[in-house]
Chain A
Amino acid sequence: DAGVIQSPRHEVTEMGQEVTLRCKPISGHDYLFWYRQTMMRGLELLIYFNNNVPIDDSGMPEDRFSAKMPNASFSTLKIQPSEPRDSAVYFCASRKQVIGELFFGEGSRLTVL
Chain B
Amino acid sequence: KNQVEQSPQSLIILEGKNCTLQCNYTVSPFSNLRWYKQDTGRGPVSLTIMTFSENTKSNGRYTATLDADTKQSSLHITASQLSDSASYICVVSAGSGTASKLTFGTGTRLQVTL
We find that the number of chain B residues with CB closer than 8 angstroms to chain A is 21
B43 pairs with A104, CB closer than 8 A: yes
CB within 8 Å of A: which of B72-104? 89, 93, 96-98, 100, 102, 104
| Chain B nearest Cβ from A90, distance in angstroms | 11
| Chain A nearest Cβ from B61, distance in angstroms | 20
The reply on B14 being an interface residue by CB < 8 A is no
Point out the residues of chain B lying under 8 angstroms from A98, CB to CB: 97-98, 100
B44 pairs with A104, CB closer than 8 A: yes
A102 pairs with B46, CB closer than 8 A: yes
B43 pairs with A99, CB closer than 8 A: no
Point out the residues of chain A lying under 8 angstroms from B98, CB to CB: 50, 55, 98
CB within 8 Å of B: which of A41-62? 41-45, 50, 55
B102 pairs with A102, CB closer than 8 A: yes
CA–CA, A63 to B100, complex, Å? 25
CA–CA, A41 to B102, complex, Å? 14
Our pick among B32, B45, B104 for the contact of A43 (Cβ within 8 Å) is B104
When A and B form their complex, which 4 residue pairs have the shortest distance between CB atoms, in order from nearest? A104-B43, A42-B106, A43-B104, A106-B43
Interface residues of A (CB under 8 A from B): 4, 41-45, 50, 55, 91, 93, 98-99, 101-102, 104-107
Interface residues of B (CB under 8 A from A): 31-32, 34, 41-46, 49, 89, 93, 96-98, 100, 102, 104-107
